[in-house]
């Protein structure tokens, strides 16, 4: 509208009629009362008290009225707007209080609830198993030695009396690395740590070497291209096969319980002479070869014994290759699979459960082993 409307007739300007104003006010108040939360009240505020609300538009009409009509129209609209903003303010207080109360209930923290609902991890049985083995030896005054998994061919083979053309090299299904002229392999056993230890320390030497080893094996319930071994090496004056037997019997008893001892079967390893396979008394039938029902023991298949590892008196050629005086010193060495040992100890049927990282498996062991 432009210019004063001198011929103003209030009845003609519908937005300023009392009835219209009352209706706009009542609609606003009804909407305010109906707003159930602060979000809804915000929408009601902009619809009924915002710039484009009916009452705001009516207010704008006032300026176009003749001066004599402005006062009365202004009062009418002003009262209505005042009533609306009062209702808005009151509703705001009520809804804010309600909101606060709801938040207090919804965000209540029950401090009496148990706090251990976050699942707790557990150390892997291979870690705790290797530690347990190390502890058994440390208790006898031995030390723990480690070496790299990518190993010099010379230390993995040659130093251990396994020259390039030695037929026993093919027994160790080796992963070779490239370039071939660097002569590095993924170590096939923990025995190179023997060589490393002898090359860097003076006898007497008593070390256990737990670690990861690699062979080009299938991956199935009893084989894996990656597994774990523990090697033992003792070098001193007058070391004999009797010391070896006594040490392994002690190890077996500590690991599997009283009465679980070992027996030796003649064997061959280039790095030991004489060499033997070590067997354990079957920890299920305890050598009786039968189970509780008198049936053939399934764990040892009626043998009464279970294969555990290899051992022997360190070949003097290995001592000499590693700088040890073979006239003065002798030594024994042994090596067995840690995974296999843990499978026996815990009755695991499938080697793969040790490698697949399923926390349900690991947690079952807890931290105790």
- The CB-of-275 to ligand PHE minimum distance in angstroms stands at 6
Do the beta carbons of residue 185 and residue 156 sit within 8 Å? yes
**Binding-site size, ligand PHE (CB under 6 A):** 11
Please report whether residue 211 would count as binding ligand PHE according to CB under 6 A: no
Sequence-ordered list of residues with C-beta below 8 angstroms from that of 335, at least 6 positions apart, any chain:
189, 190, 191, 229, 230, 231, 232, 309, 310, 311
Q: Token digits for 365?
A: 């062991």
Q: Per the omega criterion (within 30 degrees of 0), is the bond before 306 cis? A: no
Please report whether residue 157 would count as binding ligand PHE according to CB under 6 A: no
**Where are the alpha helices (H) located in the chain, listed in sequence order?**
18-34, 38-49, 54-62, 67-106, 125-138, 153-156, 191-200, 241-256, 316-321, 338-346, 359-365
**Nearest 10 degrees: CA dihedral of 179, 184, 186, 188?**
130
Antiparallel, parallel or unpaired: β 262-269 and 184-186: unpaired
In this structure, what are the phi and psi dihedrals at residue 151, rounded to the nearest 5 degrees? Answer: -120, 155
Nearer to ligand PHE, 211 or 335 (CB): 335
- The CB-of-367 to ligand PHE minimum distance in angstroms stands at 30
Least Cα distance to 232 among 211, 256, 214 occurs for: 211
Please report whether residue 191 would count as binding ligand PHE according to CB under 6 A: yes
Pick out residues in 215-234 that bind ligand PHE (CB under 6 A). 231
Please report whether residue 310 would count as binding ligand PHE according to CB under 6 A: yes
Kindly indicate which of the ranges 114-122, 195-203, 257-265, 330-338 contains the residues binding ligand PHE, using the contact rule CB under 6 A.
330-338
List the Cα angle 162/165/169 in 5-degree steps: 50
Please report whether residue 312 would count as binding ligand PHE according to CB under 6 A: yes
Q: Is 341 helix (H, G, I), strand (E, B) or coil?
A: helix
- The CB-of-233 to ligand PHE minimum distance in angstroms stands at 8
In the bound state, the residue with its beta carbon closest to ligand PHE is 335
- The CB-of-287 to ligand PHE minimum distance in angstroms stands at 24
- The CB-of-337 to ligand PHE minimum distance in angstroms stands at 8
Kindly indicate which of the ranges 67-75, 174-182, 307-315, 340-348 contains the residues binding ligand PHE, using the contact rule CB under 6 A.
307-315
- The CB-of-162 to ligand PHE minimum distance in angstroms stands at 10
- The CB-of-247 to ligand PHE minimum distance in angstroms stands at 12
Please report whether residue 331 would count as binding ligand PHE according to CB under 6 A: no
Nearer to ligand PHE, 122 or 314 (CB): 314
Kindly indicate which of the ranges 25-33, 50-58, 278-286, 308-316 contains the residues binding ligand PHE, using the contact rule CB under 6 A.
308-316
How many residues are listed for the chain in this entry?
Answer: 369
What is the rounded CA–CA span in Å between residue 330 and residue 333?
10
Nearer to ligand PHE, 35 or 155 (CB): 155
What is the rounded CA–CA span in Å between residue 215 and residue 250?
29
Do the beta carbons of residue 122 and residue 83 sit within 8 Å? no
Q: Which of 189, 228, 245, 340 binds ligand PHE (CB under 6 A)?
A: 189
Q: Which of 128, 197, 247, 272 binds ligand PHE (CB under 6 A)?
A: 272
Helix pair 38-49, 18-34: axis angle to 10 deg: 170
Q: Which of 130, 335, 340, 344 binds ligand PHE (CB under 6 A)?
A: 335
What is the rounded CA–CA span in Å between residue 141 and residue 155?
26
- The CB-of-269 to ligand PHE minimum distance in angstroms stands at 4
- The CB-of-122 to ligand PHE minimum distance in angstroms stands at 29
**Contacts within 8 Å (CB) and 24+ apart, 88-94:** 88/32, 88/41, 88/44, 88/45, 88/49, 91/32, 91/33, 91/35, 91/41, 92/38, 92/41
Nearer to ligand PHE, 269 or 344 (CB): 269
Please report whether residue 311 would count as binding ligand PHE according to CB under 6 A: yes
Q: Could you list the residues that contact ligand PHE (CB under 6 A)? A: 189, 191, 231, 269, 272, 310-312, 333-335
């Amino acid at each position: 509208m432009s210019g004063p409307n001198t011929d103003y007739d209030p009845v003609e300007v519908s937005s300023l009629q009392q009835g219209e104003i009352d209706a706009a006010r009542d609609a606003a108040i009804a909407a305010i009362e109906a707003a159930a939360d602060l979000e809804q009240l915000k929408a009601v505020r902009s619809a009924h008290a915002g710039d484009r609300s009916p009452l705001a538009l009516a207010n704008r009409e006032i300026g176009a009225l003749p001066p004599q009509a402005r006062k009365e129209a202004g009062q009418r609209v002003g009262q209505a707007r005042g009533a609306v903003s009062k209702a808005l303010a009151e509703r705001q207080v009520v809804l804010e209080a309600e909101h606060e109360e709801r938040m207090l209930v919804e965000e209540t923290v029950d401090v009496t609830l148990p706090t251990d609902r976050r699942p707790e991890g557990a150390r892997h049985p291979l870690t705790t198993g290797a530690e347990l083995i190390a502890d058994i030896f440390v208790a006898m005054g031995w030390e723990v030695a480690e070496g790299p998994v990518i190993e010099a061919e010379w230390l993995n083979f040659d130093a251990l009396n396994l020259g390039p053309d030695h037929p026993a090299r093919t027994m160790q299904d080796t992963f070779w690395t490239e370039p071939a002229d660097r002569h590095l392999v993924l170590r096939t056993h923990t025995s190179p740590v023997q060589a490393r230890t002898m090359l860097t320390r003076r006898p007497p030497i008593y070390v256990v070497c737990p670690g990861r080893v690699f062979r080009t094996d299938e991956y199935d319930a009893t084989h894996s291209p990656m597994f774990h071994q523990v090697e033992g090496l003792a070098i001193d004056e007058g070391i004999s096969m009797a010391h070896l037997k006594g040490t392994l019997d002690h190890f077996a008893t500590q690991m599997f319980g009283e009465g679980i001892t070992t027996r030796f079967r003649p064997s061959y390893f280039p790095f030991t002479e004489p060499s033997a396979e070590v067997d354990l008394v079957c920890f299920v039938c305890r050598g009786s070869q039968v189970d509780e029902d008198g049936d053939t023991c399934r764990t040892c298949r009626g043998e009464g014994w279970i294969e555990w590892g290899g051992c022997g008196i360190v070949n003097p050629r290995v001592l000499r290759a590693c700088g040890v005086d073979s006239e003065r010193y002798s030594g024994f060495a042994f090596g067995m699979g840690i995974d296999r040992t843990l499978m026996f100890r815990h009755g695991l049927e499938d080697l793969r459960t040790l490698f697949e990282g399923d926390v349900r498996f690991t947690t079952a062991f807890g931290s105790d082993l």
